[in-house]
Structure 1
Amino acid sequence: MSTVIDGQWHRLDPRTIAAVSTLVMAPMVPTVGVMLLSGKVQVALITSLIWVAGGLVIAGLTAVGWWFTRYRITAERFELRRGNLTRSHRSIPRDRIRSVDLTADPGHRLFRIAVVKVGTGGQAGDGAELKLDAIARHHAETLRQELLFGDAPTVDTHRQGATEAESTLARLRPAWFGYSALTLSLVLIVWGALGSAVGSFTELLDAMGVFRAVADAATAAPVLAVGVGTAALLLVGVGGAMALSVEMWWGFRLSRERGGTLRVRRGLLTTRSISLEQRRLRGVEIAEPMLLRWAGAARLNAIATGLSRSREDHQPENKTLLPPAPRAEVDRVAAAVLREPQPPTGTPLRRHPRAALRRRTTWALGCAAPAVAAVVVLDVLGWVPTWLAVSAGGVAVLVACAFAVDAYRNLGHGLTDEYLITRSGTGVRRTAALQRSGIIGWRITRTVFQRRSGLANVTATTAAGSSCYPVKDVAVGEGLALAEQAVPNLLGPFLERH
């Protein structure tokens, strides 16, 4: 038996106190520095004293929590005790442990410790996961190996970084970081952070004359100032998005370990190791945001049971198996993850009736109507030239129709011996390959307008992923036949045949 799993009660690593204190105190240096540059010496001194006092209080509370937190691992159970005034004693049977994930932020990495999350594979909740924050890094890896596979790695194996039975399914290629420039969510995060920084340091920027210089430049050459400002904003957004992508995905590696467990490792400043058992996998989903789709790229997500839906700030969800990558690579990795010779996501899909196109065109024109009405009002009031109003209204209608056609072309469904494939979406096109054996029910919905068009949404329900994977706006007869063929005798007894 290893020194980790000895049936004795252990405390967390005491370096946790130093890591938390460092994380709290680190922002004080730039904050006080900005105050000093602004000439507010007294405010900087008072802020420093308050910050140090707060840091000491937090360090004390962390020390108390560390003293009263203990864990024990026996041959049968994983147990965690914590709390003084309010005590908590939680335990998980070892045969129910399905994942052991490791995380280390810069503070933890500085002191060579890591956070260990032990999950049961059940739905996210208080009883589905135990968290050790934190233990020594080498201790955490040893614990992970023994809880998942029943034996701790030797020192040589740990230094090699992988066991002989581990196989690599995908590695990061530096060229993939270029796709982050097309990831609008990352660009918006950067712009939001930039706006927050400007608001926080308004006084300093004003004292340095930045606002005055910008106002003078805009007055002297407004067109040039707008052009330069727009270009600078785009450069900052793209550069920041690439920097965020590097931090999230640096060192990415997707591998398969013993017993078919999938493991994702990634992170530059904050390292993460996420585990997923093969038997919890019910399929995969390919997500293609519009800009990435135009560049021929996509992301790969797992459809699995028991994955936590909680998400850290600015971090991908635990279901993400592959960062933005070329579509061909995504299909290859999907086949490797599912252990299929060919990717089911590459199956030719059946198109949906033309009535689905009419529905989307109606929605699109309805969305464009307010813009057209606005330019008509502006033209009537004489605030804009007629030619500009007509052009703007025409562009709005054309863009709306283009989105409608794209949304219709993205509709599709298919069926293989093992998988149901559905595809829909325009802003983000999603293609899901769901194991037919993982379908536990069907939900048929029809709006008033769908009934008039002979259409329906046929949704497969499952215990994995987002729980519902719809085949949207399919002909009623075809949708019901698809459901019956995918899972025979599940829907059939409730149908009336005409």
Structure 2
Amino acid sequence: MSGPGGGPLSGPAETGWRRLSPRMLLVHPVQEVVRAAPALLGLLVAGTSSGGKGHLWSAAGVGLTVLFGMLRWFTTTYRISPEQVQVRRGLLNRKVLTVPRDRVRTVDVTSHVLHRVLGLARVEVGTGTSDRRHDSRLKLDALSADEAARLRVELLHRSPAGQFPGTQAPAGQSPTAQSPTAQSPATSPVSPAAETELARMRPGWVRFGPFTMSGLVTVGVIGGFVSRLVSEGNIDLDRVGPVRETWRWFSAMSLALEIATVLLALMVFVGVASTLGYVLAYGNFRLTRHAEGTLHVTRGLLTRRATTIEERRLRGVEIDEPLLLRAVRGARLSAVTTGLRSKEGGQRGGSTLLPPAPRTEAVAVAGLVLSHTPGATGGPSPVTGPDTGPLTSPLTSPLTVPLIPHGPAALRRRFTRAFGVHAPILLALLLLWVLGEPPLWPWLTAAALLPVTALLAADRYRSLGHALTSGYLVTRWGSLVRRRVVLRCDGVIGWTVERSFFQRRAGLATLTATTAAGAQSYQVRDVDLAEALRLAAAGTPGLLDPFLEPAGSASQ
């Protein structure tokens, strides 16, 4: 993917190296200054309070930061050929990142507020390998909005080479005449008639925002920034009037009232921050299918993000139901696809197919997505397991098929593991109280949480289940976040059967389906060993035949 040195790599087509848009000289310096703002502000406050020339040191720091940001334009070039996409960057350590055109899985186009003001966009090419390391991602920041839109079409829709600037145009035809109509990166640059809308953001979905709990991240970021600012600036909070009066009012309360006040304030702040984050991240959300075989997701109010996924790279979908979101019958939908990791970026990054929304809507959209997935039809022949019924039903939807439970042994294992952690803590707190070290209330709190532990264990068992239907492996697990993964069997490249010491004693195993998409491995947890082997054999017929003994051979 990357080559040493700064010279052009040899290839079948030699095209000129191109620079990013000159308007990025107004973007990167601002981004670097904002990123370094806490350190620069601390340098200013520390230098001024100690009698030094803090403003001069801070100005010098700003100048160096701006210079560092401007160097990116002078040291970054790229070129597009019919076979490859190449990016050359670096000043002291020169790197050339090369991606074959046939390895491009996704194209992610992002426009922050400053980008949108200047008509720019950031393009990130997903290949399934180059995006594993942050410093090796093939990223172009920033191109003009028109050029970013044309690049997305060129790389994923396999348009003729002459339709993108930087490739050779056929003789007698100008590149301008071949280029598609320029549009913003947040909208498809192709004809609207070529797209079918699968989902769109609805105002009623905002009610799910407070239950995403994404505002907890905001609390952490603000707390860390304030703590660092106070530490770097040597600020005495006792001298700040509003802070001193608030603390005096809070200290006059009883302990129970103090706890209730903190929890209430935290819930209100997190709820408001989560709702605001939901609106900013998923405002104007739209999921469409392009006639040439791609899914296009656009979202965001201030920061516009457009992600295009090839359907032939799609291996399945994942429906997530966090505990709070599940309580209000909500869920979110993401793609299991090569080139996009399932936990990439904020709020599941570019793999999001539907934001937190009604669960019925998530299931319906998942059905629309899977209905046009290439190679999704058909599947293995029905296989029957003892006391479980048919493992495979070619007429049943994998999104609504009843799941096979994992039996009493898995239930006992859920409770054993839950109380195996809770009971030692409870005994340790009781022993410390008997010895006279801590107060009694920690032990009483731990004892009162025993029913919660039992409910959590029961819910974790109720979430367990699996099925094999219509050529898809379906597995579900989790309690705090319940996940249901629908994975195409032809996307599974291997099976792993793992058994710990305690699983062997219980007759259980964990079956792992390995794939090149999403999290790259999906587990069927704590299933009967015979059931795990039958499931793997039915999911990939013939794969386990060399490792299985024919019936009756052991008795001969």
Give yes or no for contact 1:21–1:55 (8 Å, CA) kept in 2: no
Partner of 1:260: 293
In structure 1, which of residues 167, 174, 178 is the aligned counterpart of residue 207 of structure 2? 178
Partner of 1:328: 360
Alignment map for 1:278-297 (pairs within 5 Å)? 278-297=311-330
Alpha-carbon distance between aligned partners in 1 of 2:130 and 2:88, rounded to the nearest angstrom: 22
- Gaps of at least 5 residues in structure 1 are none
Structure 1 residue 169 corresponds to structure 2 residue 176: no
In structure 1, which of residues 163, 174, 187 is the aligned counterpart of residue 215 of structure 2? 187
Partner of 1:298: 331
Deviation at 1:434, TM superposition (A): 0.8
Question: Which residue identity is paired with 2:417?
Answer: W
**Other structure's SS at 1:291 match:** helix
Alignment map for 1:461-480 (pairs within 5 Å)? 461-480=514-533
Give yes or no for contact 1:371–1:396 (8 Å, CA) kept in 2: no
**Other structure's SS at 2:296 match:** strand
Partner of 1:131: 139
Alignment map for 1:53-92 (pairs within 5 Å)? 53-92=60-99
Deviation at 1:121, TM superposition (A): 4.4
Query: Percent of pairs identical after alignment?
Result: 40
Give yes or no for contact 1:266–1:273 (8 Å, CA) kept in 2: yes
Judging changes above 3 Å, is the alpha-carbon distance between structure 1 residues 449 and 112 closer, same or farther for their aligned structure 2 residues? same
Give yes or no for contact 1:122–1:306 (8 Å, CA) kept in 2: yes
Judging changes above 3 Å, is the alpha-carbon distance between structure 1 residues 396 and 130 closer, same or farther for their aligned structure 2 residues? closer
Alpha-carbon distance between aligned partners in 1 of 2:105 and 2:481, rounded to the nearest angstrom: 31
Deviation at 1:325, TM superposition (A): 1.3
Structure 1 residue 103 corresponds to structure 2 residue 130: no
Deviation at 1:492, TM superposition (A): 2.6
Give yes or no for contact 2:43–2:57 (8 Å, CA) kept in 1: no
Q: Which runs of 4+ in 1 moved over 6 A?
A: 27-36, 38-45, 156-160, 382-386, 388-391
Deviation at 1:329, TM superposition (A): 0.7
Deviation sequence 1:133-163 (CA, Å, 0-9, x none): 2111122112222332214422489998562
Alignment map for 1:203-214 (pairs within 5 Å)? 203=235, 205-214=237-246
Judging changes above 3 Å, is the alpha-carbon distance between structure 1 residues 32 and 305 closer, same or farther for their aligned structure 2 residues? closer
Question: Which residue identity is paired with 1:52?
Answer: A
Judging changes above 3 Å, is the alpha-carbon distance between structure 1 residues 81 and 393 closer, same or farther for their aligned structure 2 residues? closer
Deviation at 1:295, TM superposition (A): 1.6
Partner of 2:181: 154
Question: Which residue identity is paired with 1:329?
Answer: E
Question: Which residue identity is paired with 1:232?
Answer: A
Structure 1 residue 415 corresponds to structure 2 residue 435: no
Alpha-carbon distance between aligned partners in 2 of 1:144 and 1:123, rounded to the nearest angstrom: 17
Partner of 2:307: 274
Deviation at 1:450, TM superposition (A): 1.9
Question: Which residue identity is paired with 1:106?
Answer: V
Judging changes above 3 Å, is the alpha-carbon distance between structure 1 residues 237 and 129 closer, same or farther for their aligned structure 2 residues? closer
Give yes or no for contact 1:300–1:320 (8 Å, CA) kept in 2: yes
Choose 471-480 or 368-377, whichever is displaced more. 368-377
Alignment map for 1:319-468 (pairs within 5 Å)? 319-339=351-371, 343-377=397-431, 380=434, 392=445, 394-468=447-521
**Other structure's SS at 1:452 match:** helix
Structure 1 residue 241 corresponds to structure 2 residue 261: no
Partner of 1:487: 540
Give yes or no for contact 2:472–2:489 (8 Å, CA) kept in 1: yes
Question: Which residue identity is paired with 2:461?
Answer: Y
- Gaps of at least 5 residues in structure 2 are 1-12, 164-178, 373-394
Deviation sequence 1:217-240 (CA, Å, 0-9, x none): 134333544433332222112111
Deviation sequence 1:401-421 (CA, Å, 0-9, x none): 211111111111111121111
Alpha-carbon distance between aligned partners in 1 of 2:296 and 2:547, rounded to the nearest angstrom: 42
Judging changes above 3 Å, is the alpha-carbon distance between structure 1 residues 212 and 39 closer, same or farther for their aligned structure 2 residues? farther
Alpha-carbon distance between aligned partners in 2 of 1:361 and 1:494, rounded to the nearest angstrom: 34
Question: Which residue identity is paired with 2:306?
Answer: S
Alpha-carbon distance between aligned partners in 2 of 1:310 and 1:66, rounded to the nearest angstrom: 30
Judging changes above 3 Å, is the alpha-carbon distance between structure 1 residues 45 and 28 closer, same or farther for their aligned structure 2 residues? farther
Choose 187-196 or 471-480, whichever is displaced more. 187-196
TM-score (norm 2): 0.78
Judging changes above 3 Å, is the alpha-carbon distance between structure 1 residues 334 and 384 closer, same or farther for their aligned structure 2 residues? same
Alpha-carbon distance between aligned partners in 1 of 2:96 and 2:445, rounded to the nearest angstrom: 65
Partner of 1:217: 249
Alignment map for 1:33-48 (pairs within 5 Å)? 46-48=53-55
The number of residue pairs the alignment matches comes to 490
Alpha-carbon distance between aligned partners in 2 of 1:34 and 1:283, rounded to the nearest angstrom: 48
Alpha-carbon distance between aligned partners in 2 of 1:30 and 1:493, rounded to the nearest angstrom: 62
RMSD, aligned CA: 3.5
Alpha-carbon distance between aligned partners in 2 of 1:153 and 1:195, rounded to the nearest angstrom: 48
Structure 1 residue 19 corresponds to structure 2 residue 18: no
Alpha-carbon distance between aligned partners in 1 of 2:76 and 2:417, rounded to the nearest angstrom: 56
Deviation sequence 1:63-107 (CA, Å, 0-9, x none): 343134322223343333334554444443434433322122233
Judging changes above 3 Å, is the alpha-carbon distance between structure 1 residues 156 and 240 closer, same or farther for their aligned structure 2 residues? closer
Alpha-carbon distance between aligned partners in 1 of 2:257 and 2:249, rounded to the nearest angstrom: 9
Give yes or no for contact 2:472–2:486 (8 Å, CA) kept in 1: yes
Give yes or no for contact 1:25–1:52 (8 Å, CA) kept in 2: no
Question: Which residue identity is paired with 1:334?
Answer: A
